[in-house]
Structure formats: structure tokens, C-alpha cells
Amino acid sequence: MRTRPSHREPYQVNFYSIFAFASVILSCFSQFVFARRLYGETWQVLVTFLLGGIYAIFAVTSHRFVYRFGQQWRLPLYLLNTVVVTVMVYVSPARGFFGIIALPMISQAIMEFRPLWAGLFSLYYFAASVGVFAFYYGAAAGLEGAISYVAAFAFTIVFTAITKKALDARELSEHFRRELEEANHQLREHARQAEELATTRERNRLAREIHDGVGHYLTVVKTQLDAAAALMPTQPDKARDAVEKAAKLSAEALDDVRRSVGTLRTDAARPPLADSLRQLAAHAEPAMLFEVLGTPRELSAAAEHTLFRAAQEALTNIRKHAHATTASLTLDFREPVRVRLAVTDDGRGPQPALTTCGLTETGYGLRGLRERTEILGGRFAAGARPGGGGFEVTVEVPA
């Protein structure tokens, strides 16, 4: 038989059960003091008191025993005490009246077992209590006893059912409260993790902006100023040209900062991507061929910014690492669902020491470009140019 699972602490149930058991034990055994007449012999009195002691011990310890050793002991203990109660009711010298000692057992059955089994136990105890009258005094007395006991048994069943329902409602409310607290704790933890993730992403974005934007222009400006310093003693005119070019690149760096801000403000006007790339290619070293394939169309601010940074980083790497003589920059709008940017050169190509995971990446820059592209759901590749002899960077973003 399956018993009703309960998560209540032992003392929580014992408070009610001990009170009920103590009340009926006191009422029943007080008859040995106040009753004018008792039926039976001395051994019956002794057996009744012995069984009453077992009954009282069961009332105090059964719940804790089950709580400690497992639910499988609940039914055997209950059946054992049912035998004790039955014998006590029929042996007791206080015939008939002693049947109320079964009332706490009915309450316990309602509290601990399923309704079907609680109902069967209740019927059994009612029949056993009424049966005492029929056993000793005949069927008519049994009917009279049934009429006398029905109110007490009905009150016990109804009162216990109401109490059980109240306890279950309180337990359910406490369960929901704990679940709500746990859910709130998880929400706070998720919010904290989301905040940390957002902070990390923002730091990475700022790092990419600084490297790809300001870093690119500072590299070029430094190159021009170094050239000016070297040419100043012997070729002051060329040195002046280098300084003027450095000044112009500084102005472009300011424009680039404004462009970065524009990606964060949707209402900020942005120059066409093709014009920005054409201007970027015009200052490239070595001289760069710029080409637009297909009909240019407007892209999202994030997509345009990613393509611009890709071209910027590729040009910086060509200047710093490639030792190339020619290079090309191609912006391809021919596919309707994506835009492709390709930067190629005829320089040294990828260096084996910088190759990781099958993809050549020269430092933080290309890794940053791959991150930008993947955030948009695009594709990024960098490696040896097809056919050998040089390096190629390609970026594709959804259009």
C-alpha cells in the first residue's frame, strides 16, 4: 500500500497527535478511578494498562521513528497499534466506553494515508468499537452503541480532514514561498552574470575600437614623422611633406573617432562606405587599387563599421608586416544577401609562427575583426592568397 508522502517535521505532526492521544487516554483510563462499576477480572485490568502504555509510547515515538528510519515503517507500526487498540477495546473492563480510544487512530489514518485507506481504517475502528456492545450484550445493544458513537466518529473525521487541509495549504504556501525565494535568487544571479557579460563585451568593443581606429592612425602618423625626422637634414622639402601628411592623417583620425561615435548614435550622419574606403586606400602604402563591384547600397551602421575596420586593419598590417609592392581593396555588392570585402597584397604572406587553428592572425587586430564579424553573423578569413605570393583578408557580412 502506498502512503501519503509528507515533508512535515516530526514535531509538527506530533503536536496534534500527542494532544489527541493524551486526551483520549486520560478520558478512557479515568474510568478506572471514577466509574462506579467495572466488568472483568484483575488480569484484564493489567493487560489494559500494559496495552495502554504501548499505545502511549506509539503516540509519542511513531512519527520520529518513521522520520528517522524511513516511510516503509509507517504502515507496519500503524497495523501493530491497530492490533493493540482492538485487543484493548475488547479486554478493557470499561466495556463500550473504551471505544473512543480509537479516535486518534482515525485522525492519524486521515493525516498519513490516502483517502481510500483512511476510510477503510475508519470503518474498521467504528465497527470494532460498536462490536463490543454486540459481543457482550447482543445485536440491539450494538445498534444502540452505533447510534451513540456515530457523532463522535463523524466529528473526528470532519475535524481531522479540515485540519489536514489547513496544514496542507500552509505547507503548500511555504513550498511556493521557498520556490519564489529561489527564483528571485536565480534572477539576481542571472542579472549579475548578464551585467558582467555586458561589461566584458563593452571592454572588448572599446579595445577593438582603440586598436582598429586610433591605433591604425597613430601607426601611420608615426611612420610619417619618423620619415620626416630622417629626411630633415638632407631633404627638408620631403620632410615637410611627411609632416603635412601626418597632420592630415591626424585630422582623419578625428573623423574616425566621430565615425565610431556615429555607430552608437543612429541619428548621426555617416559618409557612404565606398567613399570612406576610397579615402582610406588613397593614403595606403604601397599604392592600393580600390574597386567597387555591383551597385552600392546602404548597410546597417554595425555592418559598415565592421567592413571599414577590416579594411583599416588589413592596410595597417600591409604597411607594418607585408613588405608588399602592390595591394588591392575590393568591396563587392553583387550578392543580394551579403557584402564582401577583400584586401590582398603581394608581400611575404603569413608567418608560420603566427598561425593558430588554421588561421593566420597577426596579433590582436585580426582576432578583433573575427569577433566583430561573428557578432554580426558573418564570415572572416585571413591567410595566404590563392595561388601563393601574398596575403588576403576577406570579410562577409549580411546585407
The answer on pLDDT for 359 being more than 50 is no
Rounded distance between C-alpha atoms, residue 297 and residue 157, angstroms: 81
The answer on pLDDT for 10 being more than 50 is no
pTM of structure: 0.43
The most confident of 92-101, 109-118, 207-216, by mean pLDDT: 109-118
Specify the pLDDT at position 212: 63
Domains and CATH numbers, the chain: 10-183 (no CATH), 270-399 (3.30.565.10)
Question: What is the overall mean pLDDT for the chain?
Answer: 80
Q: How confident is the model at residue 36 (pLDDT cuts 50, 70, 90)?
A: low
Mean pLDDT of 152-174: 88
Share of residues in the chain with pLDDT > 90 (%) = 14
Specify the pLDDT at position 263: 54
Rounded distance between C-alpha atoms, residue 172 and residue 166, angstroms: 10
Mean pLDDT of 295-321: 87
Q: How confident is the model at residue 11 (pLDDT cuts 50, 70, 90)?
A: very low
Which of these ranges, 8-17, 50-59, 114-123, 183-192, has the smallest mean pLDDT?
8-17
The answer on pLDDT for 143 being more than 80 is yes
Phi and psi at 379, nearest 5°, equal: -130, 145
The answer on pLDDT for 26 being more than 70 is yes
- The DSSP string of 231-270 is HTTT-HHHHHHHHHHHHHHHHHHHHHHHHHHHHH-TTS--
Phi and psi at 288, nearest 5°, equal: -120, 140
The residue ranking higher by pLDDT, 178 or 142, is 178
Mean pLDDT of 260-274: 65
Rounded distance between C-alpha atoms, residue 242 and residue 231, angstroms: 9
The answer on pLDDT for 291 being more than 70 is yes
Per DSSP, the three-state class of 301 is helix
Mean pLDDT of 240-253: 76
Do the strands 359-360 and 379-384 form a parallel or antiparallel pair, or are they unpaired?
unpaired
The residue ranking higher by pLDDT, 126 or 238, is 126
Summarize pLDDT for 65-111 with one digit per residue, the tens. Answer: 877 888 888 888 888 888 998 888 888 887 767 788 888 888 888 88
Mean pLDDT of 292-298: 92
- Inter-residue long-range contacts of 265-274, CB under 8 Å, 24+ positions, other chains counted: 266/301, 270/301, 270/304, 272/296, 273/299, 273/304, 273/307, 273/308, 273/331, 274/331
Specify the pLDDT at position 140: 85
Residue 119 CA: distances (Å) to CA of 18, 66, 96, 163: 22, 22, 22, 16
